[in-house]
Amino acid sequence: MEAKASARYVRVTPMKARRVVNLIRGKQANEALAILKFAPQGASEPVFKIVESAVANARQLAQRDSVAFTEEDLYVSEAFVDEGPTMKRFQPRAQGRAYRINKRTSHITVVLATPENEEDR
Task: Give the DSSP H or E segment for 96.
Answer: none
Residue 98's CB is within 10 A of a number of other CB atoms, namely 10
Q: What are 20-45's pLDDT values in tens digits?
A: 999 999 999 999 999 999 999 999 99
At residue 1, the pLDDT reads: 87
Q: What are 57-86's pLDDT values in tens digits?
A: 999 999 999 988 898 999 999 999 999 999
Report the C-alpha gap between 110 and 88 in whole angstroms: 28
pTM comes to: 0.89
Give the CATH fold of the 1-111 domain: Ribosomal Protein L22; Chain A (3.90.470)
